[in-house]
Amino acid sequence: MSVAIYAGTFDPITNGHIDIIKRSAALFDKVIVGVLVNINKKPLFEMDERLVMIDEVLKDLENVEVKTFSGLLVEFAKQEGANVLVRGLRTTTDFEYELQMAQINRKIDDTIDTMFFATDPGLSFISSSAVKELWNYDQDISEYVPEYVIWQMQKKKK
Ligand code: COA
């Protein structure tokens, strides 16, 4: 069985992430969305809130599971029986960073490979921070995140 991990902070999940998850779900038997307990970022959404949002927006994808992890991504992958790490490439800047991460991860464990998806061009400039920034300035973010996420963001603003 082919199991892939798509990891991130997902604060919040965006249509860019969802695009990569859907395309992965079409290729692998199972996709695990790994939500990092990230001590380097101060998230807008608590872990529980992020998990609820991700579950809700991915509920139609039967072969996708959502789990939290801390520590090394390859360790999490091994623990879950996954042999592929999925990443999205938005720009050449992503490429440089992602190549280095893929090589580090391969150095730690060469039984786990990284696969890259070229991001949909219409979504290549999105990040969770950009969505939050636009939202702070009352801009329309409906192209970038699902309705459910907007609803949760509205609750935060209040
Ligand atoms: N569409 C939209 N946004 C995307 C995207 C896509 N396809 N791909 C990435 N992004 C966004 C993310 O939302 C994130 O936005 P933010 O910085 O505003 O939160 C930004 O681009 C960077 O993405 P990413 O590099 O995936 O960061 P992340 O914090 O979401 O996830 C991990 C980083 C979890 C993959 C990485 O830190 C990790 O593997 N950590 C575990 C420790 C480890 O094993 N390290 C490697 C060995 S040292």
Q: Is 17 annotated as catalytic?
A: yes
Q: What pLDDT does 146 receive?
A: 98
How far is it, in rounded angstroms, from Cα 45 to Cα 68? Answer: 14
Q: Judge if the beta carbon of residue 11 lies within 6 A of ligand 1.
A: yes
Task: Encode pLDDT of 19-70 as tens digits.
Answer: 999 999 999 999 999 999 988 878 999 999 999 999 999 999 999 999 999 9
Structure tokens, 53: 């949002």
Closest approach atom of ligand 1 to CA 16:
1
Q: What pLDDT does 115 receive?
A: 98
Confidence tier at 157 by pLDDT (50, 70, 90): confident
Q: The pTM is what?
A: 0.96
| Neighbour tally for 67: CB within 10 Å | 14
Q: Is 128 annotated as catalytic?
A: yes
Q: Judge if the beta carbon of residue 127 lies within 6 A of ligand 1.
A: yes
Task: Encode pLDDT of 99-140 as tens digits.
Answer: 999 999 999 999 999 999 999 999 999 999 999 999 999 999
Closest approach atom of ligand 1 to CA 90:
7
Q: Judge if the beta carbon of residue 16 lies within 6 A of ligand 1.
A: yes
Q: What is the mean pLDDT of residues 3-30?
A: 98
Which protein residue has the closest C-alpha to ligand 1 atom 12? 127
Q: What pLDDT does 158 receive?
A: 67
Task: Give the burial class of 35: count Cβ atoms within 10 A of its Cβ; 0-12 exposed, 13-18 middle, 19 or more buried.
Answer: buried
